[in-house]
Amino acid sequence: MTRLPIERPAFGPSDRPVVMTRGGAINWGNLCAVARALAYSLPSGPAAVNLCERRENFLTAFLALLIRGQTCLLPPSRAPAVVSEVLDAYPGGYPLDDALVTAARDGTYVESGAAINVPSERVVLVGYTSGSTGRPTANPKTWGSLLASARLNSGALRAALAARGESGRPWILATVPSQHMYGIETSVLLPIIGGMGIHGVHPLYPADIAAALHELPEPRLLVTTPVHLRALLRSGVDMPSVGVVVSATAPLSVETAQAAEDRYRTTVLEFFGSTETCVIATRRTACDPAWHPYPGIELLPQADGTRVSAPWLPDPVVLQDILEIHGEGTFVSVGRNADMIEVAGKRASLADLTRRLMSVRGVSDAVVFQPDGGELAPVRRLAALAVADGLTEAAILAELAPLMDPVFLPRPLVLVERLPRNEVGKLPREQLLAAIRR
């Protein structure tokens, strides 16, 4: 496959504001100066796990690793055992946290040049899948592939803003952490490569999200997840003008997308991607069920999922997603191999069953999943967790009964105060199993 030429990124002038903090904006030149000071003080290992919580520190640490020629590692969790497991594959690797960056910033007084030169073929980042069925799986990313992905994402967002008649430097508020591929693409690469700015806070509650958006100039981008978007809508909090709301990490319902567009007078753009591929397609969920792949993406359905190729990907990637390809090049997602289950000879999608459970009036969050039944179990029943104030399990099952085949009714259905979601809204399987065993 022909490779796309990767040009040197235009990082912008030294005085370009990159991170908005409560203490004022941090510009590109200052960010680079601190990154260089940090790079010279880092250990000589091959890689580091970027554990920085503050956005400006994560960006600085990421740049320092680029300068030093070391690889940034993103484990699926920041739990000490998981971090140690990832570092075991990199003898001499080390954790990089806020304290190291703060010390470098305190000792930096002079701005330096803003140019950072990185070979396009160099592996600069390794993202890990969750490892829910075993050890975390490494997915190396070259600088060239990240550049290509960032430019495509930036182009899609700027096009969505332009369609609304909005122009100027976009400013991002992200409710997702930087230590995740979706977070890297939106809260790290877009400010570094895409010429955008990022708010330094990481808000979770609706009032905090609204307050932080008020602190940003227009046009504003809200990078979030379906869980956070539903919470915003339920809260009724007033928000300032938001040009585009970006959602990923889980399927976004048409109803939620339409409600968000109506309430906030915005455009909701959903990203389709994975740790293996980064973002490969977008859609405006409120009015178009089909996904539009980025130029250069080639999709080939096969027995075990879908083969994804692109000029900037070193090798083709096979995703578990089952896609229905349309003649004009768009596609719809039918489900995932791991999502398709069989009970008593009948097949269904866990995502679709979850959607039906979520449609019950009064259910604000839910998930349907299949626990391990064991070799002697005659039927592998489904289980579910639901957040539904004022409802009983029996009442929910009664409402659910007409919506699905009886063999798929979840038993047990456990009511919980909240689902055990991680920082990006995903539900680790071990946490789900623990919740139904209590």
The whole domain housing 54 covers 17-142
- Domain stop point among 142, 158, 190: 142
Mean pLDDT lowest among 174-188, 229-243, 397-411: 397-411
Q: How many domains does the chain have?
A: 3
- Domain stop point among 312, 338, 364: 338
Closest CA to 409 of 344, 362, 361: 344
% of the chain exceeding 90 in pLDDT: 56
The DSSP H or E segment spanning 275 is none
Asked if 367 and 307 sit in the same domain, the reply is no
pLDDT (0 to 100) of residue 67: 92
Residues 364-382 have a mean pLDDT of: 69
Asked if 318 and 402 sit in the same domain, the reply is no
Asked if 46 and 124 sit in the same domain, the reply is yes
Residue pLDDT, tens place only, 159-217: 999 999 999 999 999 999 998 899 999 999 999 999 999 999 999 899 999 999 999 99
The DSSP line for 148-172 is HHHHHHHHHHHHHHHHTT--S--EE
Strands of the sheet containing 17-21, edge to edge, are: 24-27, 17-21, 197-199, 171-174, 220-224, 244-247, 267-274, 278-283, 292-293
Is 6 domain-assigned?
no
pLDDT greater than 90 at residue 122: yes
Contact (CB, 8 A) for 404 and 349: no
Asked if 135 and 152 sit in the same domain, the reply is no
Is 323 domain-assigned?
yes
- Rg of the chain on CA atoms, in Å: 22
Residue pLDDT, tens place only, 44-90: 999 999 999 999 999 999 999 999 999 999 988 787 888 898 899 99
Q: Which two tokens stand for residue 95?
A: 């954790």
Who has greater pLDDT, 9 or 149?
Answer: 149
Distances (CA, A) of 420 to 21, 91, 364, 417, 430: 30, 33, 14, 10, 10
pLDDT (0 to 100) of residue 338: 64
pTM of the model: 0.83
Asked if 107 and 158 sit in the same domain, the reply is no
- Domain stop point among 338, 357, 374: 338
Asked if 170 and 224 sit in the same domain, the reply is yes
pLDDT (0 to 100) of residue 404: 84
Beta-strand pair 413-415/383-387: parallel
